[in-house]
Chain A
Amino acid sequence: MATPADHPAHLQHHFVSSDQQFDAAKMGMWLFLITEILLFSGMFVAYTVYRVWHPEVFTHMSDLLDWRLGGLNTLVLLASSFTVALGIHYAQTDNKKGLVINLILTFVFACVFLVVKYFEYAAKIEHGIVLGSGFAPHGVSHGVDYSTYNDLFAQQFFSIYYVMTGIHGFHVLVGMGLFAWITVRAIKGQFSSAYYTPVELCGLYWHLVDIIWIFLFPLLYLI
C-alpha cells in the first residue's frame, strides 16, 4: 500500500520519484532560460551592429545615462540574487522564517530597481528623449544641455536602450509577480526541504534577469 512517504502530495502521477520530478523541473527551467537568452541576444546583436557602424554616436549618447543610477540598480539586483539564493538555502534547511524574509527582500529589491528605472525614464522623457518620431532632446538640467545631444542617428542608441531595458524591466515585473506568489505559498507552509521546486525555479529565473542586467549596464551606461 502506498504510504505518505511513497506518495507525497507534491509528486505528480506521471513521475516515478520526487527526484525525477525535481530534475525534470530544473531541466525545463534551464531550457526556458536558454530561450530567454536567445530572445535578448537578438537585441544584443542589433546593439553590436549599430555600435560598430556609429561608434561615436553611441559613445556620445551614453553620456546621458547616469552610471551612478545604473550602478545602484546593478547592486540592487546583485543583492536580490543573493537574497533569493539565501532563501533557497533556508528552504533546503526547513527554515520557513528565513525563506519568507528573503523572498520578501527579493521582492523589495525588485521594486527598488523598477522605481530607479522609473526616475531614469522620467528624466529622459522630460527632455524629449522618447521612442519614435517625437525624439527631440532639449532642455538643460544638472549642467547638461540636452540639445547638444542631437547627433545624426542619435535615436538609434535610445531606441535600443529603451527596448532592451524595457523588455528587461518587463521581466523584472514578471519576476515580482512570481515572487509575490511564492511568498504567499511559503507563508502557507507549502515548501520544505522535501519540496521547494517553485522557489528553486523562480530563483533560476531571477538569476537570469540579474545576469542580463550585468551585461546591459556596462554596454549601455559605461562605454
Chain B
Amino acid sequence: MSVNYLNHDKSIKSWIYTLDHKRIGIMYMVAVSLAFLAGGILALLVRTELIAPGETIMAADTYNQSFTLHAVLMIFAFIIPAVPAVMGNFVLPIQLGAKDVAFPRLNLASFYIYLAGAAIALTALVVGRVDGGWTFYTPYSARVGDGILFITAGVFVMGFSSILTGLNFIVTIHKMRAPGLTWNRLPLFIWSIYATSIVQVLATPVIGITMVLLFLERLLGIGIFDPALGGDPVLFQHFFWFYSHPAVYIMILPAFGIVSDLMGTFSRQQVSGYKFVALSSVAIAFLGFLVWGHHMFVSGQSAVSSIVFSLITYLIGIPTGVKVINWVQTMYKGSVWLQTPMLYALMFLFTFSIGGFTGVMLGVLAIDVHLHDTYFVVAHFHYVMMGGNVIAALGGLHYWWPKMTGKMFNETLGRIAAVLVFIGFNTTFFPQFIMGAQGMPRRYYDYLPEFTNLHVLSTLGSYILGVGLFLIMFYLIHSLFRGKKAGPNPWGALTLEWTHTTTPPHPHNFEETPIVTRGPYDYHLAPELFGGDGASGDGHKHEADISVADSGASV
C-alpha cells in the first residue's frame, strides 16, 4: 500500500502531536461523533419519556436536565464544530491545492481547546445540575446551582475553538490557493466554509462575553442582568441571540456547501448559477447578523423593532431560495447518479425546505405570537438543524468517506439507512408541527391527553431514526475493516481532492502543486471522465481541445 496520511506513522504520539489537517479532521470526527451519540441517546430518552403523559421513565427534574444537556451537547459540541472542523479541515486545504491550513499548530490547538471546553461543560453534570434549556435565560440561570458555572465556562472555551478554526480557514482561503484557482473557480463548499468562518469570527466573541457576564452574574451577583440592581434580564437575551442567531448560519452554511458539491458531482453538470450560489452564502452570513430579535418577539421589545426584525427575516429567504432553485436547476438535464451521497442531497432539499419555510412562517409576527415556545418551533429547528445540517453532513460523510479512509462502504446498506433516516426523521418531527400549532408547549415534561397520539407517533419515529443512524455507524465502521478498497475518484468528481490526490491522500496532499485551469464542476471540459475525446462523446469538440490540468492526476 502506498504511503498515505494514515499509514506513514502509526504511533499514538504522531496522532496526538500531529499538525496534519487530515489527521486533525479525523480526530474531530471521532470527537463530534461521540458528542452526537451522547446527545442522540439523550434525545431518545427524552422522546421515550414523552411517549405518555405524566412520568414514564424519569422524574420531571431529570427530564429538565436531559433536554437541556441534549441541546447543549448537540449545539456546541456537535453541530457547530462538525462540518467545518471535520470536513472543512480534511477537504478545504486539498480543494485549495494547499499542503495544509495556514496555521497548523493553531489547528491542533483548536482541537484540544474544543476537547477541554467539552470536558468543562460535562463537569456540570458531576458538580451540579443544569436545567432550563440551552438558552440559559436570566434571571433563572443566574440563580440556579453551580452547574451553570461549568456550562458557561465550557461554552466559552468551545467558542474559542470555533473562532480559531474560522480564522484559520479565512486566511487559508485568502492566501493559499493554488495557481489558477481564482475565487470564481472555488468549489462551492469552500465558498460556504468561507462565509461560515466569517460568521464564526464575528459572532462567537459575543457569546464569549455573554458567558463571561453570566458567569460573573451567577458567581458574584454583579447585577448586570438583575433589575433590583438596575440591570435588565432581557439584555441577556439580546446578547445571547446576537450570537446564537448567526450561529444557526454557522450550522447551515457548510451544509449548503456540501449540497452544492454533491449536486454538481452527481448531476455531472455545472452547478447552475455558480456566482449567485457563492454570493448568496455571503449574503446569508451578512443578513444573519441583523435578525436576532426574531427570537424575542414576545420578550417585551418594542413593536417597531419586532417589525424590523420580522422584515429582515423574510429577506433571508431570498438568497436561500436562490440556492434551492439553483440546486434543482443543476439536476435538470443532468446525468443524475443516485448514489448514497446524492440520496442525502435530495433528502436535504425536502427536509431543509420545510424547515426554511416554517422559519419564515415563524418570522411573521402575528403567527409567532401563537407559536412561540411551542412544538412548532421545536419542529422547525430540528427540520433545519437535523433535516438540514445533519442530512447534508451525512451526505458529505458518505461522499468523502472513500477519500478519507480508502474504503468504500456498502452501497445497499447506505441506501437502506438513508431511507430509514428519512422516514424516521419525518415521522419524528412532522407531528410536532401539528402539535405545536394545536398548542403543545415546548420543554414541558407533562402534557394534556389530547396530544398523546402525536407524541407516540413522534417517539416511534425517533426509534426508526435511531435505527437508521446506528446502521450508518455500523456499516461505516465495518467498511474500515472489510470495505472494498476505493480508487482515487470513485464518484468522478472534478475538484482537486478527487483529481489530484491518491486515496487516502499523501501526507502532504500533492506530489507537486496543482495548477488549475478549469472550474470545479466543468464537466464539459473534462472529456477524460467520459472516456472519449469530446468530439464523439458530448459534442463539445471545441472545449475538448483545451488541455486540462494534469499534474499527478490519476482518474
User: Which residues in A have some Cβ–Cβ distance to B below 8 Å?
Assistant: 12-16, 20, 23-24, 27-28, 31-32, 34-36, 38-43, 45-46, 49-50, 53-54, 57, 131-133, 152-153, 155-156, 159-160, 162-163, 167
The answer to whether B201 touches A31 (Cβ under 8 A) is: yes
| CB contact between B171 and one of A31, A40, A42, A152 (< 8 Å): that residue | A31
Q: A155 to B216: give the CA distance in the assembly, Å.
A: 14
The answer to whether A39 touches B209 (Cβ under 8 A) is: yes
Q: Does B204 contact A (CB under 8 A)?
A: yes
**Residues of A contacting B168 in the complex (Cβ-Cβ under 8 angstroms):** 28
The answer to whether A32 touches B230 (Cβ under 8 A) is: no
**Residues of B contacting A163 in the complex (Cβ-Cβ under 8 angstroms):** 212-213, 216, 222, 224
| CB contact between B205 and one of A13, A39, A54, A156 (< 8 Å): that residue | A39
Q: A153 to B224: give the CA distance in the assembly, Å.
A: 10
The answer to whether B222 touches A159 (Cβ under 8 A) is: yes
Say how far B387's CB is from chain A's closest CB, in angstroms: 31
The answer to whether A42 touches B213 (Cβ under 8 A) is: yes
Q: Does B167 contact A (CB under 8 A)?
A: yes
Say how far B233's CB is from chain A's closest CB, in angstroms: 13
| CB contact between B206 and one of A27, A42, A50, A167 (< 8 Å): that residue | A42
Chain B residue nearest to A43 (CB atoms) is B209
Say how far B305's CB is from chain A's closest CB, in angstroms: 14
Chain B residue nearest to A133 (CB atoms) is B221
Q: Known interface pairs A13-B99, A160-B224. Does A42 touch B230 (Cβ–Cβ under 8 Å)? A: no
| CB contact between A39 and one of B174, B208, B221 (< 8 Å): that residue | B208
Say how far A150's CB is from chain B's closest CB, in angstroms: 12
Chain B residue nearest to A166 (CB atoms) is B216
Q: Which 4 A-B pairs have the closest CB atoms?
A: A153-B230, A42-B209, A132-B220, A38-B205
The answer to whether B209 touches A23 (Cβ under 8 A) is: no
The answer to whether B175 touches A20 (Cβ under 8 A) is: yes
Q: Does B116 contact A (CB under 8 A)?
A: no
| CB contact between A155 and one of B176, B204, B213, B229 (< 8 Å): that residue | B229
Q: A39 to B204: give the CA distance in the assembly, Å.
A: 9
A-B contact pairs, 13 of them (CB 8 A): A24-B102, A31-B167, A32-B163, A35-B205, A38-B203, A39-B205, A39-B209, A42-B206, A42-B239, A132-B221, A155-B223, A159-B229, A160-B224
**Residues of A contacting B224 in the complex (Cβ-Cβ under 8 angstroms):** 46, 156, 159-160, 163
| Chain B, range 184-224, C-beta contacts under 8 Å to A | 201-206, 208-210, 212-213, 216, 220-224
Q: Does B231 contact A (CB under 8 A)?
A: yes
Say how far B470's CB is from chain A's closest CB, in angstroms: 38
Most-contacted residue by chain B among A14, A27, A28, A152 (CB, 10 A): A14
**Residues of B contacting A45 in the complex (Cβ-Cβ under 8 angstroms):** 239
Known contacts A39-B205, A43-B209, A155-B230; 17 additional CB pairs below 8 A are: A13-B99, A14-B98, A14-B99, A20-B175, A20-B176, A24-B174, A27-B170, A27-B171, A27-B174, A28-B102, A28-B103, A35-B202, A42-B210, A46-B224, A49-B235, A57-B230, A159-B223
The answer to whether A46 touches B235 (Cβ under 8 A) is: yes
Q: Known interface pairs A42-B206, A159-B222, A159-B224. Does A35 touch B201 (Cβ–Cβ under 8 Å)? A: yes
Q: Kindly supply a per-residue 1/0 record for chain B positions 14-46, scoring 1 wherever the CB is within 8 Å of any chain A CB and 0 otherwise.
A: 000000000000000000000000000000000
Q: A23 to B206: give the CA distance in the assembly, Å.
A: 27
Say how far A134's CB is from chain B's closest CB, in angstroms: 9
Q: A12 to B508: give the CA distance in the assembly, Å.
A: 13
The answer to whether B216 touches A131 (Cβ under 8 A) is: yes
| CB contact between A49 and one of B206, B220, B232 (< 8 Å): that residue | B232
The answer to whether A24 touches B176 (Cβ under 8 A) is: yes
**Residues of B contacting A16 in the complex (Cβ-Cβ under 8 angstroms):** 513
Chain B residue nearest to A153 (CB atoms) is B230
Q: Does B54 contact A (CB under 8 A)?
A: no
| Chain B, range 308-355, C-beta contacts under 8 Å to A | none
Q: Known interface pairs A42-B210, A132-B222, A155-B230. Does A24 touch B171 (Cβ–Cβ under 8 Å)? A: yes
The answer to whether B104 touches A14 (Cβ under 8 A) is: yes
Q: A28 to B204: give the CA distance in the assembly, Å.
A: 16
Chain B residue nearest to A152 (CB atoms) is B230
Chain B residue nearest to A44 (CB atoms) is B209
The answer to whether B167 touches A28 (Cβ under 8 A) is: yes
Q: A88 to B78: give the CA distance in the assembly, Å.
A: 42
Say how far A169's CB is from chain B's closest CB, in angstroms: 14
**Residues of B contacting A12 in the complex (Cβ-Cβ under 8 angstroms):** 104
Q: Does B368 contact A (CB under 8 A)?
A: no
Q: Does B100 contact A (CB under 8 A)?
A: yes
Say how far A186's CB is from chain B's closest CB, in angstroms: 21
**Residues of A contacting B100 in the complex (Cβ-Cβ under 8 angstroms):** 13-14
**Residues of A contacting B102 in the complex (Cβ-Cβ under 8 angstroms):** 14, 24, 28
**Residues of A contacting B202 in the complex (Cβ-Cβ under 8 angstroms):** 34-35, 38
Q: Kindly supply a per-residue 1/0 record for chain B positions 409-440, scoring 1 wherever the CB is within 8 Å of any chain A CB and 0 otherwise.
A: 00000000000000000000000000000000
**Residues of B contacting A50 in the complex (Cβ-Cβ under 8 angstroms):** 230-231
Say how far A175's CB is from chain B's closest CB, in angstroms: 18
Say how far A15's CB is from chain B's closest CB, in angstroms: 8
The answer to whether A32 touches B167 (Cβ under 8 A) is: yes
Chain A residue nearest to B231 (CB atoms) is A156
Q: A45 to B239: give the CA distance in the assembly, Å.
A: 9
Q: Known interface pairs A49-B232, A57-B230. Does A27 touch B175 (Cβ–Cβ under 8 Å)? A: yes
Q: A35 to B161: give the CA distance in the assembly, Å.
A: 13
The answer to whether A156 touches B239 (Cβ under 8 A) is: no
Q: Kindly supply a per-residue 1/0 record for chain B positions 83-104, scoring 1 wherever the CB is within 8 Å of any chain A CB and 0 otherwise.
A: 0000000000000001111111
Q: A159 to B170: give the CA distance in the assembly, Å.
A: 36
The answer to whether A153 touches B175 (Cβ under 8 A) is: no
**Residues of B contacting A34 in the complex (Cβ-Cβ under 8 angstroms):** 201-202
Most-contacted residue by chain A among B106, B170, B229, B513 (CB, 10 A): B229
Q: A66 to B529: give the CA distance in the assembly, Å.
A: 75
**Residues of A contacting B229 in the complex (Cβ-Cβ under 8 angstroms):** 153, 155-156, 159
Say how far B489's CB is from chain A's closest CB, in angstroms: 24
| Chain B, range 443-478, C-beta contacts under 8 Å to A | none
| CB contact between A156 and one of B163, B221, B230 (< 8 Å): that residue | B230
The answer to whether B206 touches A38 (Cβ under 8 A) is: yes
Say how far A128's CB is from chain B's closest CB, in angstroms: 15
Q: Known interface pairs A27-B171, A27-B174. Does A35 touch B103 (Cβ–Cβ under 8 Å)? A: no
The answer to whether A156 touches B235 (Cβ under 8 A) is: no
Q: A25 to B216: give the CA distance in the assembly, Å.
A: 34
Chain A residue nearest to B220 (CB atoms) is A132
Say how far A108's CB is from chain B's closest CB, in angstroms: 29
